[in-house]
Chains A and B, each alone.
Chain A
Amino acid sequence: KAGVTQTPRYLIKTRGQQVTLSCSPISGHRSVSWYQQTPGQGLQFLFEYFSETQRNKGNFPGRFSGRQFSNSRSEMNVSTLELGDSALYLCASSLNFQGVQETQYFGPGTRLLVL
């Protein structure tokens, strides 16, 4: 099976712009989660989507949003970019049957640099 794929791999934007990142989960996986990795804060949970619905959300401002499509592919959007949004954005997928402890599998990430 192909793994989690993310596009683009690298992105440079300027402050105030907005950006959309894409994630395709492992075939058959219905849950997609997004994480932000920065040197200072480590890996932090952004949000999780399941069956096209946001099911869980971390402590990030409303500038960070996402959506999931019927084929489980997901996008996340960051509006009004700030310098502090420079980070590696990681997508993870899992089968995620409710109540079952499951492993999340990560994609390679999108490296975003905000200038």
Chain B
Amino acid sequence: DQQVKQNSPSLSVQEGRISILNCDYTNSMFDYFLWYKKYPAEGPTFLISISSIKDKNEDGRFTVFLNKSAKHLSLHIVPSQPGDSAVYFCAASHPNQAGTALIFGKGTTLSVSS
């Protein structure tokens, strides 16, 4: 049962345009959401996060939006650059008494062409 879903395996965008990556989740107990960027043969690099008490968080070109009622979040990259080409993972945190573990979506491959 996939609790975090990224339904688009790939996305192609032109340089300078907006990239919108989407993520859906099923578990209403998730209270913290993160986006990571990953290049092949490297570990994921943290991009931006959002707490469930917020609906938007911005950091430079990256903005994450959270819609709790729809159990949906999205990452906006504006403007997109060729260096943004990578796999983007959405992750959710479900704290319990023992600790936290990240539940990841399967990723969306973003290709930004110049």
Contact = CB atoms under 8 A, between A and B. Distances in A.
A90 B95 contact: no
Contacts of B100: 48, 56, 96, 102
Contacts of A48: 99-101
Interface stretch (A13-21, A65-73, A75-83, A106-114): A106-114
B6 to A, nearest CB: 9
Interface residues of A, number: 30
Interface in B41-60: 41-46, 49, 51
A111 B51 CA distance: 32
Nearest to B48: A103
B102 A104 contact: yes
A58 B43 contact: no
Interface size class of B (residues with CB under 8 A): 20 to 34
Nearest to B2: A42
B101 A101 contact: no
Interface in A24-73: 31, 33, 35, 42-45, 48, 50, 55-56, 58
A99 B95 contact: yes
Given A101-B32, A103-B49, A108-B43, A45 B103 contact: yes
